[in-house]
Structure 1
Amino acid sequence: MDRLFHEGGNFFGTTLAGLTPDGEDITTITTTLTADEATSRPTDADGALEAVNTSASIASSSKQSLDPGEFRILKFSTVEVTSELRCVTSREELARAPAYVALSYSWGTVDVSHSIQVDDRTVNVSKTLFEALTSLRSQAIFEACDGNLWIDALSINQQDVAEKTQQVQMMAKIYQSATIVVGWLGQMTTSDRRGFETIRSVTETLRLGEVYDGLGNHVMNAPALASTFTLAEREGIPYVGHPAWESVAPIYEKSWWSRVWIIQELLHAQHFMFLCGETVIEDYILHFAANLARVPFLSQAMHEARGSGLGRFAASSLALWREEWIKGLRSNMLACLIRTVAAKSTDPRDKIFALVSLCNDIQPDFINYDYGLKEVLIGLAGVQLRKRAPNMDGLSIPQSFGRIEGVPSWVPCWAGATPTGVVDLAMTRFSALKHGTELPPCSDVFLQAVENTFILGIHTQKMDEIAVVLDTHVEGDVPSTKNIARDICSDDYYAWLCAFYRHQCRQHQLEWDLAELTEGLGTYPTGKPIEEVYWRSKIFDDQRARSSQIIAKHCALSREEMQETFPRVISLATEIREGEALGVHSSQHSFQQMQLCMSYEDLVRDIQFKRMADSDEYTERSPGGFRKYAVTVKGYVAWIPPNAEIGDELHMVDGARVPYILRRLYDKGEPEDYNVELVGDAYVHGLMSGNDIYSSDLLEAKQLVHIF
Structure 2
Amino acid sequence: MHPPQMTALQDGEIRILVHEYSALERIPRLVFRVVSLDNPPPFVALSYVWGDLADTLPLRASNYPQTLWIDALCINQDDFEERASQVAMMGDIYSCAEYVLAFLSSESGPFDLGLDFMEKTAKNPEIHFDPSLSPHLTVDSSYRALFGLSASHPILQSSIIEFFGTPWFTRVWTVQEFLLAKKVMFRCGKRLIDAEVVTKCCRSWIDHSKTCCWSADQPRHGHSHGFIDTIWDIRSNLTLYTATLRMKPLMDMSHRGRLHCTDFLTAISLFRIRQCSDPRDRIYGFSGLYLPGIDVKRDLQVDYKVSTALLFRNTATTLVEKTQTLDVLSHVLHESGIEKRVAELPSWVPDWDATMDDRHHLLYTDRADRISHCRASGDLKPNLAFRAPDNVFIRGLRIGRIKAIAPGYPSIYTDSADGGKETVDSWRQLAGLPEALSSEEDVKETTFQNALSGGFTDLPWEIGSAAYSKAYKLWLEWFISTKPSLPVECKEIIQEFDDLMHQTSMYRRFILTDNGELGFGPEITEVGDVIIILPGGKVPYVLRQVEVSFYGTTTYRLLGDAYINGAMAGEKVCSGMSDFEDMFLV
TM-score by length of 1: 0.63
Structure 2 residue 245 is the aligned partner of structure 1 residue 313 = yes
The structure 1 residue matched to 2:550, chosen from 639, 645, 669, is 669
**Displacement, 1:266?**
2.6
Shift of 1:333: 0.9
Assess if the C-alpha contact under 8 Å between 2:128 and 2:213 holds in 1: no
| Counterpart for residue 397 of structure 1 | 331
Change (3 A) 1:660 1:545: same
Whether the 8 Å CA contact 2:534–2:540 is kept in 1: the answer is: yes
Q: Is the 8 A contact 1:442 1:458 kept in 2?
A: no
Larger helix proportion, structure 1 or 2? 1
Tell me, yes or no, if the aligned pair for 2:533 and 2:540 is still in contact at 8 Å: yes
Match of residue 642 from structure 1: 523
More strand by share: 2
What residue number does 2:236 align with?
A: none
Kept in 2, the 8 Å contact 1:395–1:680? The answer is yes
> Which one of the candidate residues 163, 177, 195 is aligned to 1:265?
177
Q: Which has the larger radius of gyration?
A: 1
Q: Work out the CA distance in 1 between the residues paired with 2:26 and 2:487.
A: 59
1:540-551 equivalence runs, <5 A: 541=455, 543=457, 545-547=462-464
* Aligned partner letter, 1:311: A
Aligned residues: 537
Q: Deviations over 1:631-673 (max 9, x none)?
A: 4344444432122334332222123343222233342533x23
Q: CA deviation at 1:406?
A: 1.6
Unaligned runs of 5+ in 1: 1-53, 108-125, 209-220, 479-499, 522-527, 570-596, 612-618
Residue type matched to 2:399 in 1?
Answer: M
- The residue aligned with 2:559 is 679
Letter in 1 for 2:349: V
Separation in 2, partners of 1:502, 1:230: 31
Does residue 1:78 correspond to 2:17, yes or no? no
Report whether the alignment pairs 1:134 with 2:51. no
Amino acid at match of 1:545: E
Is the 1:253–1:309 Cα contact (8 Å) retained in structure 2?
A: no
Please tell me whether residue 336 in structure 1 is matched to residue 253 in structure 2: no
Q: Using the alignment, how far apart are the partners of 2:256 and 2:318 within structure 1? A: 24
In structure 1, the residue matched to 2:506 is: 625
Shift of 1:97: 4.2
Shift in CA distance, 468/239, structure 1 to aligned 2, threshold 3 Å: closer
CA contact (8 A) 1:627 1:639 kept: yes
Measure the CA separation in 2 of the matches of 1:82 and 1:309: 51
TM-score by length of 2: 0.75
CA distance in 1, matches of 2:204, 2:374: 38
State the distance in 1 between where 2:205 and 2:381 align. Answer: 43
- Kept in 2: contact 1:71–1:155 (CA 8 A): yes
Deviation for aligned residue 1:103: 1.1
Q: Look up the match of 1:371.
A: 306
Q: 1:258 to 1:554 in 2, by over 3 A?
A: closer
Q: 1:187 and 1:542 mapped to 2: Cα distance? A: 46
Match of 2:45 in 1: 102
- Partner residue of 1:460? 396
Match of 1:382 in 2: 317
Instruction: Give 1:702's match in structure 2, choosing from 557, 562, 580.
Output: 580
SS in structure 2 of the partner of residue 679 of structure 1 = strand
Asked if 1 retains the 8 angstrom alpha-carbon contact of 2:45 and 2:100, the reply is: yes
Matches for 1:45-194 after TM superposition, within 5 Å: 58=2, 61-63=4-6, 65-79=8-22, 87=30, 89-107=32-50, 126=51, 128-138=52-62, 143-145=64-66, 148-194=67-113
Measure how far apart 1:132 and its partner are. 0.8
Of residues 318, 342, 345 in structure 2, which corresponds to 1:407? 345
Supply the distance in 2 between the matched residues of 1:471 and 1:294 (Cα, whole angstroms): 30
Q: 1:210-289 alignment to 2 at 5 Å?
A: 229-230=134-135, 239-241=150-152, 244=156, 246-283=158-195, 284-289=197-202
Relative to 1, partners in 2 of residues 1:105 and 1:630: Cα closer, same or farther, differing over 3 Å?
same
In the alignment, which residue of structure 1 is the partner of 2:378? 439
Compute the RMSD of aligned alpha carbons: 4.6
Is residue 460–residue 653 contact of structure 1 (8 Å, CA) maintained in 2?
yes
SS of corresponding position for 1:181: strand
**In the TM superposition, what are the counterparts of 1:504-653 in structure 2 within 5 Å?**
505=418, 508-519=421-432, 529-539=443-453, 541=455, 543=457, 545-547=462-464, 555=472, 565-566=481-482, 568-569=483-484, 623-653=504-534
Shift of 1:167: 0.9
Tell me, yes or no, if the aligned pair for 1:539 and 1:555 is still in contact at 8 Å. no
The match for 1:428 is 370
Aligned to 2:246, what secondary structure does the other structure show?
Answer: helix
- Name the CA shift for 1:654/1:317 in 2 (closer, same or farther; >3 Å): closer
Deviation digits for residues 192-236 of structure 1 (CA, Å, limit 9, x no counterpart): 2343334334434x2x6xxxxxxxxxxxx9999999944859xx9
More deviation in 72-81 or 149-158? 72-81
